Amino acid sequence: MPQMHLCSVRALVPLGEGEKRGFFSLLLEGCGLPDWTPGQFVMLRPESWSRELPWARPFSIGRWDGNGLEIFFQVVGRGTSLLAGLRPGESVRIFGPLGQGFAREENKPVLLLAGGMGIAPFAGYIPRRAGAPNLRLCFGHRAPLACYPYAALAGNCLSEHFPDERPGDLPSFLRRMEELLAGNAREEGLVLACGPVPFLRAVRDLSLKHGARTQISLENRMACGLGVCLGCVVKPLMDDKGRNRSRQPVPPALEQGLPVPVCSCGPVFWADAVELDA
């Protein structure tokens, strides 16, 4: 069950050229997340925020070691800009864990596909299967590699990365992603993906093409985290007979062709179950 926790900032660490590029690791202590699944998230709001910022912000649970919570973020707006100014000892309220996390299939090959800060939820997934011979990470990124928690994860699984800083690199990433995804589908494995919508749309299309069992984590804007405000809904992906296209179990509302909140029914969905709007 989600709970409210009052934590304190242990450290705010720039990643790579984080202070210039806006990539950070936020370490919180005094938090308690006894039962959480990688892919779930928390709603976070510093006590110092004024009424001008009434809403908490959603962040993937990166790591939790029993004593502290680590969250990775990139400065993209007003809320994250203020987070980048936190100091040790400041109080932060978190509410969670929230949402549905990734599936775990210990005996199946698992392919992790991440785009940019979509690597954040895998910071909690990979350590739980550290050293597994059938776990692979394929990562595409635009900022320098040191701006992401890639190095700490790469040593625990088969991994490769593709920078998008020179013309031609992104197509190479997509070709490699399709090669790995097709191979995973032939072995009846599991594909897990997180990243921006255009990236997830490419993953979804490749998964439909090759028949891969794929889950995607959406990054919709959220306000309440509980499915009450309906500000983060996603539409079902239906076939020409009015049925949900997914071959996997989906929430009843999706099965009936109704939109559902990402925060409570997701953020992880089967890729063939939901529409991906721009």
Integer angstrom CA distances of residue 119 from 7, 74, 128, 149, 217: 24, 12, 15, 8, 11
E strand or H helix that includes residue 83: helix 78-83
Q: Which of 12-21, 42-51, 267-276 has the lowest mean pLDDT?
A: 12-21
Residue 166 has pLDDT above 60, yes or no: no
Which residue would you say has higher pLDDT here, 66 or 114? 114
Q: Which of 2-6, 57-61, 151-155 has the lowest mean pLDDT?
A: 2-6
pLDDT digit string, tens, across residues 214-252:
999 998 888 787 878 878 888 988 887 777 878 888 888
Give residue 170's pLDDT.
60
User: What number is the average pLDDT over the span 251-267?
Assistant: 88
pLDDT digit string, tens, across residues 135-155:
999 999 989 999 999 998 988
Contact 177, 151 (CB under 8 A): no
C-alpha 112/C-alpha 177 separation (Å) is 10
User: What number is the average pLDDT over the span 91-105?
Assistant: 92
Convert 240-264 to b/e letters by CB count within 10 Å (16 or more is b).
eeeebbbeeebbeebeeeeebbbbb
- Nearest CA-CA partner of 264 in 222, 204, 236, 235: 222
Contact 136, 157 (CB under 8 A): yes
Residue 168 has pLDDT above 70, yes or no: no
Convert 112-143 to b/e letters by CB count within 10 Å (16 or more is b).
bbbbbbbbbbbbbbbbebeebebbbbbbbbeb
pLDDT digit string, tens, across residues 174-230:
899 999 999 999 999 999 999 999 999 999 999 999 999 999 999 888 878 787 887
Highest mean pLDDT among 27-31, 87-91, 101-105: 87-91
Long-range contacts made by residues 204-210, C-beta under 8 angstroms, separation at least 24? 204/271, 204/272, 204/276, 206/177, 206/178, 206/181, 206/182, 207/181, 207/271, 207/272, 208/271, 208/272, 210/178, 210/181, 210/182, 210/185
Amino acid at the residue 191: V
E strand or H helix that includes residue 122: helix 122-125
Give residue 165's pLDDT.
55
pTM of the model as a whole: 0.93
Give residue 64's pLDDT.
81
C-alpha 206/C-alpha 132 separation (Å) is 25
Domains of the chain and CATH, by start = 3-98 (2.40.30.10), 110-270 (3.40.50.80)
Residue 277 has pLDDT above 80, yes or no: no
Contact 214, 270 (CB under 8 A): yes
pLDDT class of 19 with cuts at 50, 70, 90: low
C-alpha 276/C-alpha 272 separation (Å) is 10
pLDDT class of 81 with cuts at 50, 70, 90: very high
Residue 20 has pLDDT above 90, yes or no: no
